[in-house]
Amino acid sequence: MLHHDGLFSSESVASGHPDKVCDRISDAILDAFLTRDPQARVACETFAADDKVIVAGEFRTAERADFDAVRAGADSLVRETLRKVGYRDAATDLDPDNCDIEVRFNHQSPQIAGAVDASDGVLGAGDQGMMFGYACDETPELMPLAISLAHALLVRLHEHRTDGTLAFARTDAKSQVTVRYRDGVPSGIDTVVLSLQHDPEVSLEHVRRDVTRVLIDEIVPETLRRPDFKLLINPAGAWTVGGPKADTGLTGRKIIVDTYGGACPHGGGAFSGKDASKVDRSAAYAARWVAKHVVAAGLARRCTVQLAYAIGRAEPISVGVDLHGTGKVAESRLASALPRVFDLTPGGIIAALDLTRPIFARTSAYGHFGRDDPAFTWEATPRIEELQRACA
């Protein structure tokens, strides 16, 4: 963690943020491939600006017909995804029915395919790199408090936008929560920043009043606020134009929002649009799975796990553990115990977490971790007792 005493901030962005829309499109394409071929190889990127959406990537399926079918349906899938997000107007965000969509699908490189899917049947890592997982006891879901609250604000904003309670809210929004720490423990919420796109006919005063009453008071109760608590709603003023009309969007540009809000290091790899043979995604999920087990097992109050891989190799190059001075077991003992409890090869991770299912579009907004969703298997902790025995 980057702090012990002082302030720490994390942000989240709504599903209508242009980068998040691109993440969702890329993951929707991934799900479409996995629905037809659970062993498909997918690396999909999406770019959005003004009224233009470009979807491109490298793919491999066992049957050419599956590749052709997804490519043929990509235009309709993109438009459907834009509608689900809530885009509707070329003047203020993007018109799903009339925007320009360009699809460029290529086949996966045979060299990469040969390195990853070895002839002996052992799945190698889809690339080199390092991935981090994190867990702490600040919240029931074992996530840092700042990012949990930042996500919660936008999840509830989405609910109130769709149920009509905050009908003036549009799809684009950002939140930021600042927590004050004392001796490494949260002592209260210092600042909340919330910027949301809204209908132009609604005044800024109306937006601020209703959002405070309906949303802020619900998610950030008085008991969590410091005496000098500060609330900033649309601090730059009115915001009526959002999505790709206001700013370009690109897959993979919100990696800190997707993970722990900056509370631990990040290896740099994004998740969305990648199948689980890419350890950028699957090993990051596994690292969270392992770190959450450590904290849930009572072996530490805070845990960072680092995994590193070489392309084409199955076993991780390194497994590192940092308990941030909160451990009840030696870090060296824990690091040696982890590979005995968890198979951290790409094939082992995919099997344990069931990562060939088409469940990834739902991960694309409000974070990949700390979510109460049965599909997020990396949030379950079924091996607590086994880990405790291995560390004894």
Write out pLDDT tens, residues 231-269.
Answer: 999 999 999 999 999 999 999 999 999 999 999 999 989
Enumerate the domain spans of the chain: 6-13+145-241, 18-113, 129-136+276-391
Per-residue model confidence (pLDDT) at position 115 = 60
- pLDDT band (50, 70, 90) for residue 128: confident
Write out pLDDT tens, residues 5-35.
Answer: 899 999 999 999 999 999 999 999 999 999 9
Cα–Cα distance, 67 to 44 (Å, whole number): 13
- pLDDT band (50, 70, 90) for residue 312: confident
Cα–Cα distance, 252 to 83 (Å, whole number): 21
In the predicted model, is pLDDT for residue 118 greater than 80? no
CATH of domain 18-113: 3.30.300.10
In the predicted model, is pLDDT for residue 119 greater than 60? no
The domain 129-136+276-391 is placed in CATH, from the list 3.30.470.20, 2.40.50.1020, 3.30.300.10, 3.30.530.20, at 3.30.300.10
- Please, are residues 6 and 184 in contact by the beta-carbon 8 Å criterion? no
**Strand, coil or helix: what is 147?**
helix
**Strand, coil or helix: what is 51?**
coil
Per-residue model confidence (pLDDT) at position 326 = 95
Radius of gyration of the chain (CA): 22
- Percent share of the chain, pLDDT over 70: 96
Residue the block writes with tokens 């049965």: 374
- Topology at the third CATH level for domain 6-13+145-241: GMP Synthetase; Chain A, domain 3 (3.30.300)
Write out pLDDT tens, residues 345-365.
Answer: 999 999 999 999 999 999 999
User: What is the rounded average pLDDT for all residues in the chain?
Assistant: 94
Per-residue model confidence (pLDDT) at position 124 = 80
**Strand, coil or helix: what is 255?**
helix
